[in-house]
């Protein structure tokens, strides 16, 4: 930080000579990276989660639209109608898929709940800083309008740009045809 003296006030301005390549001292990075590595290890350990080719959109659609109950019914039909359907009537494969779905659905639900909790923790932490930053911005906006606050004007302007909500463009509605009105 450099200090710039104007009359009797001392204003600290950020040192812009610092390189963007220098790592920032973030006390959360090590913990977050360790947790990311643990989650990656869990996912890599899941059966069937190996680096397989990507599924096409039609494969995803047909798999997601077929319930586990439908697969169980297919297994029951394959056992009941033995000898009909040949290779398609693979009851052990149907039941194995159903077992996989039921077993790992619990893990999926827990991970989804953990994700929601993480999202809330991030928002809660952000909110504490936001509740300080917004009034501070309002104060600095007034201070930057004075002669001694001139060095802060670019920072206040930049923060104003980041805080401004971008409005959605209004949807263009076409005028109904005169014929349709009659």
Three-state SS for 121-182 is HHHHHHHHHHHHHHHHHHHHHHHHCCCCCHHHHHHHHHHHHHHCCCCCCCCCCCCCCHHHHC
In this predicted structure, what is the pLDDT of residue 60?
92
Tell me: the pLDDT tens digits for 48-85?
A: 776 677 889 999 999 999 999 999 999 998 888 887 87
Helix (H, G, I), strand (E, B) or coil at 5: strand
Low-confidence ranges of the chain (pLDDT < 50): 1-20
DSSP structural state of residue 55: P
Instruction: Determine the pLDDT at residue 9.
Output: 43
CB 158 within 8 A of CB 137: no
Rounded CA separation 117/164 (Å): 28
Residue 10 parent element (H or E) = strand 9-13
Q: What is the pTM of this model?
A: 0.58
**Residue 18 backbone class (left: φ over 0; alpha: ψ -120 to 50; beta: rest):** beta
Q: 10 Å Cβ neighbour count for 75?
A: 20
Residue with structure tokens 């619990």? 106
Contacts of 55 (CB under 8 A, 6+ apart): 63
């Amino acid at each position: 930080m450099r200090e710039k003296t104007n009359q009797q006030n001392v204003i600290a301005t950020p040192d812009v000579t610092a390189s963007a390549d220098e790592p920032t001292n973030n006390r959360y990075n090590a913990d977050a990276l360790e947790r990311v590595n643990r989650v990656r290890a869990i996912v890599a350990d899941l059966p069937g989660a190996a680096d397989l080719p990507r599924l096409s959109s039609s494969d995803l659609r047909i798999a997601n639209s077929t319930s586990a109950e439908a697969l169980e019914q297919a297994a029951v039909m394959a056992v009941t109608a033995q000898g009909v359907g040949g290779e398609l009537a693979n009851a052990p494969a149907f039941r194995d898929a159903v077992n996989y779905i039921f077993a790992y659905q619990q893990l999926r639900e827990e991970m989804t709940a953990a994700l929601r909790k993480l999202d809330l923790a991030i928002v809660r932490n952000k909110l504490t800083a936001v509740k300080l930053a917004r009034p501070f911005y309002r104060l600095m906006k007034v201070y930057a309008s004075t002669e001694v606050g001139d060095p802060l004007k670019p920072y206040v302007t930049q923060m104003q740009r980041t805080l401004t909500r971008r409005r959605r463009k209004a949807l263009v509605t076409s005028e109904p045809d005169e014929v349709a009105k009659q």
